[in-house]
């Protein structure tokens, strides 16, 4: 049923595929939200980053940045961003880093070793970039917070949370990659 045929030129097909992946990221965020710890219901994550990471593997780093930009633009248009416009900018910075790392490591060879290496180092880069990003973004919303309090919060709550989120993203993207390995969309 799922025969993947390719007759069109690469540039146009890649761009269209990236556009669809951006829409898919936006949709999946609403369909697949689930709590990280079943007891704490407000701390949720979702599979919205999976299409984007898949795109980073097969389309390369710059398409990944494009997908994140378009996804955040869709959020901006829908008015449904829980962090406001600053949240969107922070998300763009962090996920772009994730995508660029994954994209560059898997650029030459898309074998299992490189994909695992790319996703793991991308997830670590993502969690690390969130620290300076939050250092800039959080005081815009909480001017009363002192720098020491903020840094303590970032290292004790934010960093572990983002590492966990990156680990979940890595695991699921890997599962998706393994299931769809035979259908390289861009060969």
Residues of this chain that interact with other proteins (CB under 8 A) are 2, 4-9, 11-13, 15-24, 26-28, 30-32, 34, 36-38, 42, 47, 50-51, 54, 62, 66-67, 69-71, 73-74, 76-86, 140-145, 168, 171-172, 175-176, 179-180, 183, 185
Residues 6+ apart with CB under 8 A from 155: 131
CB of 18 to other proteins, least distance (A): 5
| Inter-CA distances, 130 with 19, 68, 150, 168, Å | 25, 15, 13, 16
Separation between Cα atoms, residue 157 and residue 119, nearest integer Å: 22
CB of 175 to other proteins, least distance (A): 6
Q: What are phi and psi of 150, to 5 degrees?
A: -65, -45
Is 70 or 154 the residue whose CB approaches other proteins more closely?
Answer: 70
Q: How many CB atoms lie within 10 A of CB 6?
A: 11
Is 62 or 104 the residue whose CB approaches other proteins more closely?
Answer: 62
CB of 111 to other proteins, least distance (A): 19
CB of 61 to other proteins, least distance (A): 13
CB of 159 to other proteins, least distance (A): 18
Is 108 or 146 the residue whose CB approaches other proteins more closely?
Answer: 146
Residues 6+ apart with CB under 8 A from 5: none
Q: What are phi and psi of 108, to 5 degrees?
A: -80, -55
**End-to-end Cα spacing for the chain:** 19
Is 27 or 157 the residue whose CB approaches other proteins more closely?
Answer: 27
């Amino acid at each position: 049923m799922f025969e993947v045929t390719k007759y069109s030129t690469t540039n146009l097909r890649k761009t269209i595929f990236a556009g669809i992946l951006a829409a898919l990221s936006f949709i999946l965020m609403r369909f697949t939200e689930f709590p990280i710890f079943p007891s704490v219901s407000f701390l949720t994550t979702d599979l919205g980053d999976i299409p984007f990471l898949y795109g980073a593997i097969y389309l390369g780093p710059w398409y990944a940045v494009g997908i994140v930009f378009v996804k955040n633009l869709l959020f901006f248009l829908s008015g449904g961003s829980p962090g406001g416009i600053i949240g969107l900018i922070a998300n763009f910075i962090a996920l772009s880093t994730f995508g660029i790392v994954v994209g560059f490591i898997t650029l030459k060879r898309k074998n299992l070793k490189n994909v695992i290496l790319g996703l793991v180092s991308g997830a670590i880069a993502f969690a690390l970039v969130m620290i300076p990003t939050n250092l800039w973004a959080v005081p815009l919303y909480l001017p009363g917070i002192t720098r020491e309090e903020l840094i303590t919060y970032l290292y004790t709550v934010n960093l572990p949370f983002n590492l966990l989120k990156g680990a979940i993203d890595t695991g699921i993207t890997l599962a998706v990659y393994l299931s769809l390995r035979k259908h390289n969309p861009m060969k």
